[in-house]
């Protein structure tokens, strides 16, 4: 690591990002012990910060990642898989799902592995949207139940 280089530390909480930052840049970042019972961290660091090493390199310490999941919409995938998007215009069916349909230009035009990756990410993106909707439905159900319970209580009290 030399002047002009920047290093970003990413990883789950307790991985030792702040400990490395302190060792490499002489910083004074708080470091946290791991939770008793399992070896997970305690999310000690809560904000990003930049530090300079004696050699002049930069180190960015970050809060531990909580979850790693696909961040984006299903239709944004089309921009990443632009080869598939372009080929899809030549499929026989306009709503072709590129899963063994006859006259599918995508199946013929890209490798099996690329198509599998595309479908995998598409499934993941859709599952994410679904759970967001489901969560919303669940919250409104809870609210309705709470309201009903309050009404019953008030009726009892007269």
Ligand X SMILES: Nc1nc2c(ncn2[C@@H]2O[C@H](COP(=O)(O)OP(=O)(O)OP(=O)(O)O)[C@@H](O)[C@H]2O)c(=O)[nH]1
**Nearest in space to 17 (alpha carbons), one of 35, 36, 43, 38:** 43
122 binds Zn ion (CB under 5 A): no
Residues 6+ apart with CB under 8 A from 37: none
Cβ(30)–Cβ(48) below 8 Å: no
53 binds Mg ion (CB under 5 A): no
32 binds ligand X (CB under 6 A): yes
Judged by CB under 5 A, the residue of 18, 20, 25, 118 near Mg ion is 18
Judged by CB under 6 A, the residue of 5, 6, 10, 16 near ligand X is 16
Q: Which does 43 bind (CB under 5 to 8 A by kind): Zn ion, ligand X, Mg ion, none?
A: ligand X
> What percent of the chain is helix, strand and coil (3-state, nearest 5)?
45, 10, 45
Strand order of the β-sheet with 49-52 is: 6-8, 58-61, 49-52
84 binds Zn ion (CB under 5 A): no
Distance of closest approach, residue 56 Cβ to Zn ion, in angstroms: 53
Of 17-25, 101-109, 110-118, 123-131, the window that binds ligand X (rule: CB under 6 A) is: 17-25
43 binds ligand X (CB under 6 A): yes
């Amino acid at each position: 690591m030399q002047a002009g280089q920047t290093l970003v530390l990413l990883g789950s909480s307790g991985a030792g990002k702040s400990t490395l930052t302190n060792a490499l840049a002489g910083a004074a970042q708080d470091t946290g012990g791991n939770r008793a019972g399992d070896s997970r961290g305690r999310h000690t660091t809560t904000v990003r910060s930049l530090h300079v090493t004696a050699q002049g390199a930069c180190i960015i310490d970050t809060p531990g990642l909580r979850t790693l999941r696909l961040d984006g919409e299903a239709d944004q995938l089309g921009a990443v898989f632009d080869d598939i998007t372009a080929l899809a215009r030549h499929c026989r069916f306009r709503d072709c799902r590129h899963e063994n349909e006859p006259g599918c230009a995508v199946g013929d035009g890209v490798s099996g592995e690329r198509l599998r990756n595309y479908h995998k990410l598409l499934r993941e993106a859709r599952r994410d949207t679904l759970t967001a909707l489901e969560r919303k439905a669940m919250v409104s159900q809870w609210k309705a139940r709470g309201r009903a319970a309050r009404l019953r209580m008030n009726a009892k009290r007269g």
